[in-house]
A and B are shown apart, each in its own frame.
Chain A
Amino acid sequence: GAVVSQHPSRVICKSGTSVKIECRSLDFQATTMFWYRQFPKKSLMLMATSNEGSKATYEQGVEKDKFLINHASLTLSTLTVTSAHPEDSSFYICSASQGGLSSYEQYFGPGTRLTVT
């Protein structure tokens, strides 16, 4: 149980275009979803937290107009990288939390490798 998927697993896009990454909780309802960014050989950096039906809360230094997050349902959150640039190339990982007694545990997706050329 508690499986989280991400799509696509890899994407290559040209500079200036936008890319959407989907994060789905497959067998549970996720009241909260998180988006992380991971640079090579580095730890995970939290970008934003989103609750279903609410606006995402962005961490300091993360451009909300560049990284658009939508959490339209209890099983789906999307991250759209707008007007992507090579410096946006990274590994993006989402996680989902069920809430309630399990709210302290996050279930992670397999990640999406974004390369901007």
Chain B
Amino acid sequence: AQSVTQPDIHITVSEGASLELRCNYSYGATPYLFWYVQSPGQGLQLLLKYFSGDTLVQGIKGFEAEFKRSQSSFNLRKPSVHWSDAAEYFCAVGNAGNMLTFGGGTRLMVKP
């Protein structure tokens, strides 16, 4: 069975600082990996996805993620965080059956 772990429940960073959100997955085959962002009371917005090819994926809002098969990781990064980035971030893995399994989420808080 597939699973996703986001080790950090909460992360606080200062505005302008760099950010890395961790995501580890467990899946038997080539994973389809996603990062979503959710603002309070809102649905999920796709930040980026990895299906195949280049392991460094660029997304919207200046985010990127790197797929590392050897570490079963798909960490999300941003070089300079903005106050508007404060939200909940979910990593997810998809399978050939079109189902997504989500991690527990990481709540990002941004200090001024």
Contact = CB atoms under 8 A, between A and B. Distances in A.
Query: From DSSP, what is the main secondary structure of chain B's interface residues?
Result: strand
A78 interface: no
Contacts of A43: 90, 102-105
B105 A109 contact: no
Among B42, B90, B107, chain A packs the most CB atoms within 10 A around the CB of B42
B102 A44 contact: yes
A interface residue count range (under 10 / 10 to 19 / 20 to 34 / 35 or more): 20 to 34
Contacts, number: 52
B56 interface: no
Contacts of B102: 43-44
Contacts of A42: 104-105
Most chain A CB atoms below 10 A, which of B34, B45, B102: B102
A44 B6 CA distance: 13
Name the interface size band of chain B: 20 to 34
Nearest to B45: A108
15 contacts: A34-B100, A44-B102, A49-B98, A95-B100, A97-B98, A104-B49, A104-B51, A104-B94, A104-B98, A106-B94, A107-B46, A108-B36, A108-B46, A109-B43, A110-B42
Interface of B: 32, 34, 36, 41-46, 49, 51, 90, 94, 98-100, 102-105, 107
Interface of A: 4, 6, 32, 34, 41-44, 46, 49, 91, 93, 95, 97, 103-111, 113
